[in-house]
Amino acid sequence: MRILVANVNTTVSMTEAIASSARSVASPGTEIVGITPRFGADSCEGNFESYLAAIAVMDAVLAYPEPYDAVIQAGYGEHGREGLQELLEVPVVDITEAAASTAMYLGHRFSVVTTLDRTVPLIEDRLKLAGLDQRCASVRASGLGVLELESDPQRAVEAIVEQSTRAVSDDHAEVICLGCGGMAELEEQVRAATGVPIVDGVRAAVTIAEGLVRMGLSTSKVRTYAPPREKRITGWPFRI
Amino acid sequence: MRILVANVNTTVSMTEAIASSARSVASPGTEIVGITPRFGADSCEGNFESYLAAIAVMDAVLAYPEPYDAVIQAGYGEHGREGLQELLEVPVVDITEAAASTAMYLGHRFSVVTTLDRTVPLIEDRLKLAGLDQRCASVRASGLGVLELESDPQRAVEAIVEQSTRAVSDDHAEVICLGCGGMAELEEQVRAATGVPIVDGVRAAVTIAEGLVRMGLSTSKVRTYAPPREKRITGWPFRI
Amino acid sequence: MRILVANVNTTVSMTEAIASSARSVASPGTEIVGITPRFGADSCEGNFESYLAAIAVMDAVLAYPEPYDAVIQAGYGEHGREGLQELLEVPVVDITEAAASTAMYLGHRFSVVTTLDRTVPLIEDRLKLAGLDQRCASVRASGLGVLELESDPQRAVEAIVEQSTRAVSDDHAEVICLGCGGMAELEEQVRAATGVPIVDGVRAAVTIAEGLVRMGLSTSKVRTYAPPREKRITGWPFRI
Amino acid sequence: MRILVANVNTTVSMTEAIASSARSVASPGTEIVGITPRFGADSCEGNFESYLAAIAVMDAVLAYPEPYDAVIQAGYGEHGREGLQELLEVPVVDITEAAASTAMYLGHRFSVVTTLDRTVPLIEDRLKLAGLDQRCASVRASGLGVLELESDPQRAVEAIVEQSTRAVSDDHAEVICLGCGGMAELEEQVRAATGVPIVDGVRAAVTIAEGLVRMGLSTSKVRTYAPPREKRITGWPFRI
Amino acid sequence: MRILVANVNTTVSMTEAIASSARSVASPGTEIVGITPRFGADSCEGNFESYLAAIAVMDAVLAYPEPYDAVIQAGYGEHGREGLQELLEVPVVDITEAAASTAMYLGHRFSVVTTLDRTVPLIEDRLKLAGLDQRCASVRASGLGVLELESDPQRAVEAIVEQSTRAVSDDHAEVICLGCGGMAELEEQVRAATGVPIVDGVRAAVTIAEGLVRMGLSTSKVRTYAPPREKRITGWPFRI
Amino acid sequence: MRILVANVNTTVSMTEAIASSARSVASPGTEIVGITPRFGADSCEGNFESYLAAIAVMDAVLAYPEPYDAVIQAGYGEHGREGLQELLEVPVVDITEAAASTAMYLGHRFSVVTTLDRTVPLIEDRLKLAGLDQRCASVRASGLGVLELESDPQRAVEAIVEQSTRAVSDDHAEVICLGCGGMAELEEQVRAATGVPIVDGVRAAVTIAEGLVRMGLSTSKVRTYAPPREKRITGWPFRI
């Protein structure tokens, strides 16, 4: 099967890192295709950028010319998953939700450790809307921007380990979700330092998407995610 | 003061209806300016269209050349308010929230009567995220599309009265919120037929926005709605 | 229009301060009338005093001889609003709720900073009942009694600034509500010290009450707030 | 021990019925003293009357000249329990809460069947504040006023049986709480007709109050229910 | 009346301590019978042991040869109460719930102080399922194992006093529940040290069970707790 | 990899049906081993039987002599998953939770259609504890016992289709979970009749368990699910 893994920002190296992480757990026979938006921010760290990414991901997925079996939206705490579900017949998996639903199989409570403090409320809101917030002990910020994860991985590990350790000791988390599409590389080090299971949303999403495809399941079309009605749409898709 | 009232769809007659409704409760000295997006759907009835509208409203508001004191996002159950709050220094009021917070001053529980069944979950999700869902007795659909409200107002009144009556008798609503930016015209008839207060979100939003401006209050910038960080944004604003 | 602003305690200087605060945001043409209860405590700092105030405010409002368009109950965290809504045809706005619903337009979460620790649960309970508690980050006590706010304003500012600062840094509040009818004078200083929007419930209530009147909206009478049934009432109104 | 059972209305025959119900489950050696307020409504069916009752019960209890070991507030869904807790050193038990906490030992969910529809929200609010609402399947109204329970007991039984039966079949209640201080007489008939346990709040409250006394437990005074501070109180107690 | 008080572990001295505590508040005429499981762990400190205890308590109660009027399951945070309710006609009271519902009559919020950190989630889960968690400020662990309470009572008091004091000051608890069946002996010392009411679940359960019996109330059999259907059961009761 | 799929009842034909269903979605290279308890009921339809099953599943899994990579507890709404997590190093997946977390990727709300009405509260309780209840529209009973699913499959399909159809139309479910380990055979027919995705918990659990194993993730051992402490256990494992 072929799974599209859509980065939410325009940074191609991050798309590659995400796709590589996805491939590390994909089954034999699963092709992972990384998708980079044509427009938007080079990192998503707030609502404006996230809304832009929501549309940019839809744009990029719709423009993909080959058939595919599932789509992963690989932005942590980002808007847009519901739109993709309307537009597509194949299942759509958001990594924020994939990490949370996976973590809930591993411990009584989980925490998310993300990048900047300002993105904490976005993640909290996505978990709340998804109904996956009740066993979330906390969402903590490492204080590092998205692109700093790539540029300074050692500092990233330290900051994430520090917040993860506090989540375990102070918030009673038993599992840590890495709250950014580009954090998968750090998983092993954070696990070693904290002693708790570390969930990378991209990897979790791949296993869930594969499972849905294998079970022949896709988005229900009877109500919320019915295809858009026929109507006049101006200016879409965008000329960039 | 000047308040921008942003329609979420591209139908200019609907912008005019919304602006007219806004003017009906604006204080002397308040100028209401209707804004129509440059792109998007001619009516918003689902997530894809709503996400497009979120960006289109930001685009339209940023393009407005004159100073203004507040912005009203005049789409019921639509995405995007948080993005506007990041981008602007002036207060932003969403009509879904304005109707709800107003209804809560008028009765123990309120219901929302909206257009199509498929938009019910969008409204429920917005109220949930806003923390304004606890006293919401129900969100009910009249079964009419957004544009049918304009094209067949008599049928619209009948359908909305029917659902409002059921909301009062079956769901124990004591107040009805008209769940669409373009329903204000119907307010008087629905009130007469049901005997309960009817809240139009656009009008409610005008009074709230005026109040915020009069109190000198605007969006907090310390965390969630801090201005976007300096970064590379590709393809924005869109060429349409 | 004329709005009655009912103090909940018998301290006339506090009524005057509240009315003055209300006037500072009232529209031209709005007359603010401060009302002082005939009986009760000289400050409300607990349930017994608050229940007494609930009845005293009803007594005082019913005794007011002229017509009026709305009533504001200007006690933070006090009982009684529902009784006024039954007795009156005009809209009733409680300042605890007005501050909260206003704060929710300004930030992702808000905190309330009030007087004594013992009044914290009263405020929490009012917000819970009103369904306005979900975005409340915390209710914090400054440790000062109600009347100390008047007698030692400098110490009051310091104590409130301290708790507000902690609410922002520790509880992730983005907006502060001043949790006492008599705190409005301190607004500017607290805002300057904390950098976040400060909401005074009395001012917020005035803008909301004006808005309701301008929209022609008042309390729904179909169920919870229907007028009391005809029956024998002994000893009311009280001879004081 | 001596337990004061305070009626919330001024109808002496109802006080007697409540006290008689209380005596039916009191332990040997427990003296039940019925208390009737000096002022207020002859039945409590709404917020104004309930707030008046809150103060009237405090007035009546404080006026009781002999020692006592516990107080039961015998109004269903009424305000005021918190005030009594501040004023008294002995434990205070509210019958709304006593019925609910008792019902939770008997079935997975319970319903309350009360008098008029307008009192339903009061009961819902009391249960919500008490944190005892999560297993409440519904609060249903029989449509009879409080005093009709006494004047037409047969019709009362029929109406309550009808709503109880619906609560069991439609709302999945497994236990019914009689939602009025004066309904205890009907218990046996409702039980026979529905086949589920029927909880009378007054009786439940007696067993709970006795238990607290026997364990030597009373209201915590460290915060919420600390005694009122010393201060000037005008006009209290009332001259009636 | 006769009440069976079922210990959840196989330590007979603990059964005796529990029964002794139960007797200290039982009414004249109430016979308390301590029951010790035939199998299981000598202390319950986790889910495996708790599930084993659930079955062991059912086994022991069913094996009891004389008539009885109520059963108390005297394990804090343990599984199994629902099973007993199906199997028995008499009322069943769990001490976790008894402590919580009792504490709610005594203060605005309560905390539970238990043994090991690993049992905290069990208690939280039981309170959540029982719908008694909303006024629970915290569940805190003293760090002592169940059997250390008996073997080193002085250290137990110190550890429990320390956590209770923190619960009051940091979590705003106004009442403390002793979170283990075997803690009753420590009650007086913890009360003296903290100044708040201390609730022992066993004692609370006795008063509640007596009350239910006196009111003639028992488990509803219409749905959740209907007797098991006739069917083939293999290997039960166990040969030990 | 090898996955143990543990039936919760002693009916071997049901174990075989469950294992067969599991195999239908297992990856090449995954061995599914069906496990039948040595003791317990021939079908689980209530709390007593479910508690017995909890222990019986632990007993059966611990007795399995070969290595394995994950365990699936294949009872819908049954107790016991937390105990297995303590006892095992490999991941444990409960089918109630697996169905729910899978359904949440497919629609805005899901319903569960189960066997007897008396098992509805068990399922509701498991979803509540798992924090997976917020998007559950309803749990509905078909009225058929567990073993009737096998003995009268046509009637089972009809009853399940009827309740599923109502869940979609009345409760706004967009996805249906088959609420019994033995319902997988019916999946295709129910899907055809309702037009919404149908989730079988066993199949869902297989994909999730495989995913966890592939990611190298297992139960966190830092707190709730730490291995049982060393202690004296009497009578375990049972002699049957």
Instruction: Please judge whether A39 and B128 are an interchain contact, meaning their C-beta atoms are less than 8 angstroms apart.
Output: no
Q: What is the pLDDT of residue A149?
A: 83
> Distance (Å, rounded) from C-alpha E207 to C-alpha E25?
7
For residue F148, what pLDDT band results from cuts at 50, 70 and 90?
Answer: confident
pLDDT at B62 over 80: yes
Residue C181 pLDDT > 90: no
Q: Which of A147-161, C196-210, E29-43 has the lowest mean pLDDT?
A: A147-161
pLDDT given for residue A186 in this prediction:
86
Chains that touch A (3 or more CB pairs under 8 A): B, C, E, F
CA distance linking residue F120 with residue F45, whole number of Å: 10
Residue B148 has pLDDT above 90, yes or no: no
Q: Which of D40, D58, D240 sits opposite C48 (nearest CB)?
A: D58
According to the model, what pLDDT value does residue F214 have?
Answer: 97
Element (H, E) at E170: helix E153-170
The half-sphere exposure of D208 on its side-chain side, counting CA atoms within 13 A, is: 34
- What pLDDT, on the 0 to 100 scale, is given for residue E240? 81
Residue D109 distance to chain F (closest CA, Å): 9
Q: Are F109 and A136 in contact (CB under 8 A)?
A: no
pLDDT of residue F152: 87
Q: Which residues of C touch E109 (CB under 8 A)?
A: 121
- pLDDT at A104 (0 to 100): 98
- Write out chain A in H/E/C secondary structure: CEEEEECCCCCHHHHHHHHHHHHCCCCCCCEEEEECCCCEECCCCCHHHHHHHHHHHHHHHHHCCCCCCEEEECCCCCCCHHHHHHHCCCCEEEHHHHHHHHHCCCCCCEEEEECCHHHHHHHHHHHHHHCCCCCEEEEEECCCCHHHHHHCHHHHHHHHHHHHHHHHHHCCCCEEEECCCCCHHHHHHHHHHHCCCEEEHHHHHHHHHHHHHHCCCCCCCCCCCCCCCCCCEECCCCEC
Please judge whether F223 and A195 are an interchain contact, meaning their C-beta atoms are less than 8 angstroms apart.
no
Among B159, B224, B210, residue whose Cα is nearest residue B186: B159
Class of the CATH-defined domain E2-94+203-215: alpha beta
pLDDT tens-digit readout, A155-194: 989 999 999 999 999 999 999 999 987 787 888 999 999 9
Round to whole Å and give the CA distance between E202 and E197.
Answer: 15
Which residue is it, tokens 């069976």? E4
User: Are chains F and A touching, using the cut-off of 8 Å on CB pairs and a minimum of 3 such pairs?
Assistant: yes
Cα dihedral: D71, D77, D79, D83 (round 10): 30
Quote the CA–CA distance of F92 and F86 in Å, as a whole number. Answer: 10
CB contact under 8 A, B208 and C211: yes
Answer yes or no: same fold for A2-94+203-214 and A96-201: yes
pLDDT tens digits for D126-140?
999 999 999 999 999
CATH number of D2-95+203-215: 3.40.50.12500
CB pairs < 8 Å spanning A and F: 144
Report how far residue B121's alpha carbon sits from residue B110's, in angstroms, rounded to the nearest whole number: 16
Is the complex ipTM higher than 0.90?
A: yes
Residue E205 corresponds to which amino acid? A
| Inter-chain Cβ pairs, chain B and chain D, closer than 8 A | 3
E120 vs A contacts (CB less than 8 Å): 172
Given the candidates 3.30.160.270, 3.30.465.10, 3.40.50.12500, 3.30.565.10, the CATH classification of the domain at B2-94+203-214 is 3.40.50.12500
The tens digit of pLDDT for each residue in F36-59 reads: 999 999 999 999 999 999 999 999
Average per-residue pLDDT in chain C?
96
How far, in Å, CA of F73 to CA of F58, rounded?
Answer: 10
**Antiparallel, parallel or unpaired: β B40-41 and A233-234:** antiparallel
* Distance (Å, whole) CA B44 – CA B78: 8
More confident position, E135 or A153: E135
Pairing of strands C40-41, A31-35: unpaired
> With bands split at pLDDT 50, 70 and 90, how would you rate the model's confidence at C147?
confident
Mean pLDDT of the B186-212 span: 96
Distance from CA of C240 to the nearest CA of B (A): 32
Mean pLDDT (whole number) for E195-215: 97
CA distance F223 to B235: 49
Average pLDDT of the segment spanning A199-228 = 98
What CA–CA distance (Å, rounded) separates D60 from C235? 13
| Helix intervals (H) in chain B | 12-23, 47-63, 81-87, 95-103, 120-130, 146-151, 153-170, 187-194, 201-214
Residue in chain F closest to A106 (alpha carbons) equals F219
CB count in 10 Å sphere of residue E33: 16
Give the mean pLDDT of chain B: 96
Phi-psi map region of A27: left, alpha, beta (phi>0 left; psi -120 to 50 alpha): beta
C-alpha D103/C-alpha D198 separation (Å) is: 8
Q: Return all residues near C28 (Cβ < 8 A) that are at least 6 apart.
A: none
Compute the distance between CA of residue A45 and CA of residue A116 in angstroms, rounded to an integer.
7
Pick the CATH number of B96-201 from 3.40.50.12500, 3.30.70.120, 1.20.1440.230, 3.30.930.10: 3.40.50.12500
DSSP B74-135: --TT-S-HHHHHHH-SS-EEEHHHHHHHHHTTT-S-EEEEES-GGGHHHHHHHHHHHT--TT
Per-residue pLDDT at C36 exceeds 90? yes
Task: Answer whether residue A26 shows pLDDT above 90.
Answer: yes
Is the model's pLDDT at F149 over the cut of 90?
no
- Find the helix packing angle between D187-194 and D153-170, rounded to 10°: 40
In chain F, residues with a C-beta closer than 8 Å to the C-beta of B121 are 108-109
Question: Has residue E68 got a pLDDT over 90?
Answer: yes
Digit-coded pLDDT (tens) for F209-240: 999 999 999 999 999 999 999 999 999 999 88
* Cβ-nearest to D105 among E93, E168, E195: E93
Place of tokens 């009378």: D200
- Closest Cβ opposite residue B218 in set C92, C197, C222: C197
Contact residues, chain B, for F109 at CB < 8 Å:
121
The whole-number pLDDT of residue D146 equals: 83
Tell me the average pLDDT of chain A: 96
Query: CA A69 to CA A123: how far, in whole Å?
Result: 27
- Give the pLDDT score at B153: 86
Query: Quick one: pLDDT band at residue C92, thresholds 50, 70, 90?
Result: very high
Q: Is the pLDDT of residue D182 over 80?
A: no
Structure tokens at E52: 């084993």
The structure tokens listed for F66 are: 């070969």
Cα distances from A178 to residues A77, A103, A123, A137, A209, in angstroms, run: 11, 11, 12, 14, 19
Q: What is the pLDDT of residues F150-180, one digit of tens each?
A: 888 889 899 999 999 999 999 999 999 999 8
Rounded to an integer, the average pLDDT of E107-131 is 97
d(CA E21, CA E7): 12
> What's residue D184's pLDDT?
76
| A150 pLDDT more than 90 | no
pLDDT for F67 equals: 98
Residue of F nearest to E221 (CA): F118
State yes or no: pLDDT of B147 exceeds 90: no
Q: Report the CATH fold assignment for F97-201.
A: Rossmann fold (3.40.50)
Identify the closest residue of chain E to D202 by CA–CA distance: E215
Chains contacting chain E through 3 or more C-beta pairs under 8 A: A, C, D, F
Q: Rounded mean pLDDT of B67-77?
A: 97
Q: Contact F4/F35 with Cβ under 8 angstroms?
A: yes
pLDDT exceeds cutoff 90 at E148: no
E158 burial (CB, 10 Å; 0-12 / 13-18 / 19+) is middle
Domain-wise residue ranges, chain A:
2-94+203-214, 96-201
Distance CA F183, CA D50 (A): 53
Q: Which residues of E touch D27 (CB under 8 A)?
A: 27, 214
User: Which residues, other chains included, contact A136 with Cβ-Cβ below 8 Å and sequence gap of 6+?
Assistant: A100, A109, A110, A111, A112, A124, A127
Q: How confident is the model at residue E146 (pLDDT cuts 50, 70, 90)?
A: confident
Average pLDDT, chain E: 96
Identify the residue whose tokens are 């969910």: D109
Would you state the pLDDT for residue A152?
A: 87
Percent of chain E at pLDDT > 90 equals: 90
**pLDDT of amino acid A151:** 86
Q: How confident is the model at residue B66 (pLDDT cuts 50, 70, 90)?
A: very high
Residue C150, pLDDT score: 81
**What is residue A8's predicted lDDT score, i.e. its pLDDT?**
97
pLDDT confidence of residue B65 = 97
Task: Using the predicted structure, report yes or no on whether residue A216 has a pLDDT greater than 90.
Answer: yes
Average pLDDT along chain D? 96
Task: Please give the pLDDT value at position E82.
Answer: 98
**Does residue E96 register a pLDDT over 90?**
yes
Q: What is the pLDDT of residue D26?
A: 97
Q: From chain F, which residues contact D within 8 Å (Cβ)?
A: 120-121
**Alpha helices (runs of H) in chain F, residue ranges in sequence order:** 12-25, 47-63, 81-87, 95-103, 120-130, 146-151, 153-170, 187-194, 201-215
Chain C positions contacting chain B at CB under 8 Å are 25, 27, 91-93, 97, 101-102, 104-108, 130-135, 168, 172, 174-175, 195-197, 199-200, 203-204, 207-208, 210-212, 214-215, 217-220, 222-225
